[in-house]
Amino acid sequence: MSTPIPFTARRIPHTATHNRLVSGTRQLLASAISLYLLALVIHLVLRLVLEDRFRLLAVANLITPFYFLPLVVVIPLALVAGMRRIALAAGILALVGVIAYGPRFVPRTTLAAGDTTLNIASWNVYRRNAKVDEIIQWIHGQDADVVLLQEVPRLQIEHIMSGIEAYYPYSYVREPSDGGMIALSRLPILHAESFALSDVNRLQQRIVLDMQGRQIVVYNIHLANPIPPRDVPAYRREAPLLVHLIASYDDKQRDVEVEMLLNRIADEQQPLIVAGDFNLSDQSAQYQVVTNQLRDSFAEVGIGLGGTWPATDTRGLPPFVPPLLRLDYVWHSPDWTSLNAAVGHAPGSDHFSVSATLALSP
């Protein structure tokens, strides 16, 4: 008759297996977190040194703020798991993120302005937007002095204009085949013209307005798409959005147009506003080039990251995905002071709209 194995002896193998499992899980977790932290550091260094010189890096730079989000989970997880060095490294990177992007979430105040203020709204309507009546309602709801529209459905322009002419007695309309450009104003338009920044993209608009006896210049801009749809093979266009973005991204033409635009507005003498869809992320190197000459109203007084693309309902993305890129802007010359700036959802478009209240210096 064999002697029974004591209960405690039977538990030892199980305890050893459990300990090995815990240790293995902890090592796997530490490796995963370390890999993420290393990748974040490498990205930040490459972004600082190489900027947007390579396509993959340029695409990666577009959503840099979102790379810090996992740290919200990583830091407490590392602390609970007793990984103090990893938690410290994650904390340092979190501090970098807070310094870089934290101020954007702090409300900012401006000096009180006089009576000479202008409310302006800009929106890429999207050339396939079929919600014409809602577009008209949106325009009415802005109650803006100036409304700038890009990529308006060409066949719907007449309908849209008939729905808003009582609210905006002054307008300037262009009807290119890839979407109309419309400038609407409650202020008298003294001069209006269209001009090209390149021979491969749509015409832009420049209008001169009479604002209480003072001339101001407003540009309605839609720069070249860095994902040019006409030059992309069909198999790429049908690919998932992220795959399509990485495979097709090319910002060279847009950068040429940015340079041409800045050269043009350098000669403007009157108070200046430049607004529209720039197809330019505020995370790209070219954004800094623009800020050397113009002021970004949302960067001055807006709250948050200010993403305007993509709108999830139009692009078929999950509803919890925010607009990742800020492509639409209201820029201005030093003659103006930004009092308010906001991003708003707009019907049927893959872009959110932008608006700003600007005060004109005496």
Residue 362's pLDDT is: 84
Which segment of 5-9, 121-125, 205-209 scores lowest on mean pLDDT? 5-9
Helix boundaries (H) for 266-311: 285-291, 297-301
pLDDT band at 87 (very low <50, low <70, confident <90, very high): very high
pLDDT band at 66 (very low <50, low <70, confident <90, very high): very high
Residue-averaged pLDDT of the chain: 88
Percent of the chain residues topping a pLDDT of 90: 68
Close Cβ partners of 16 (under 8 Å, ≥ 6 residues apart): none
- Whether the CB-CB separation of 221 and 204 falls below 8 Å is answered with yes
**60 has a pLDDT exceeding 80:** yes
The arithmetic mean of pLDDT across residues 254-279, rounded, is 96
Find where tokens 């925010």 sit: 322
Burial class, 154, CB count within 10 angstroms (exposed 0-12 / middle 13-18 / buried 19+): middle
The arithmetic mean of pLDDT across residues 320-325, rounded, is 86
Q: Where are the domains of the chain?
A: 7-104, 112-360
In sequence order, what DSSP letters do the residues of 170-197 get, joined into one string?
EEEEE--TT-EEEEEESS-EEEEEEE-S
Strands 328-332 and 295-296: antiparallel
- Whether the CB-CB separation of 80 and 30 falls below 8 Å is answered with no
- CA 187, chain centre distance (Å): 29
Q: What is the rounded distance in angstroms from the CA atom of residue 21 to the CA atom of residue 151?
A: 58
pLDDT band at 336 (very low <50, low <70, confident <90, very high): very high
- Whether the CB-CB separation of 265 and 331 falls below 8 Å is answered with no
Close Cβ partners of 326 (under 8 Å, ≥ 6 residues apart): 281, 282, 298, 305, 306, 307, 308, 309
Which segment of 74-83, 103-112, 254-263 scores lowest on mean pLDDT? 103-112
- pTM of the model as a whole: 0.88
- Whether the CB-CB separation of 177 and 154 falls below 8 Å is answered with yes
Which segment of 46-55, 111-120, 182-191, 205-214 scores lowest on mean pLDDT? 111-120
pLDDT band at 316 (very low <50, low <70, confident <90, very high): low
- Phi first, then psi: give them for residue 51, nearest 5 degrees: 55, -120
pLDDT band at 175 (very low <50, low <70, confident <90, very high): confident
Residue 90: both structure tokens together: 């994650």
Residue 345's pLDDT is: 87
Q: 112-360: what fold?
A: Deoxyribonuclease I; Chain A (3.60.10)
Strands 214-222 and 272-277: parallel
- Phi first, then psi: give them for residue 90, nearest 5 degrees: -65, -40
pLDDT band at 7 (very low <50, low <70, confident <90, very high): very low
Angle, vertex CA 142, rays to CA 221 and CA 330, nearest 5: 30
Q: What is the rounded distance in angstroms from the CA atom of residue 246 to the CA atom of residue 112?
A: 45
Q: What is the rounded distance in angstroms from the CA atom of residue 55 to the CA atom of residue 248?
A: 9
The arithmetic mean of pLDDT across residues 33-59, rounded, is 94
Residue 9's pLDDT is: 46
The arithmetic mean of pLDDT across residues 115-123, rounded, is 93
Q: Identify residue 125 by its one-letter amino acid code.
A: V
Close Cβ partners of 301 (under 8 Å, ≥ 6 residues apart): 108, 110, 338, 339, 340, 341
Beta carbons within 10 angstroms of residue 31's beta carbon: 10
**259 has a pLDDT exceeding 50:** yes
| 102 half-sphere exposure, CB direction, 13 A CA radius | 7
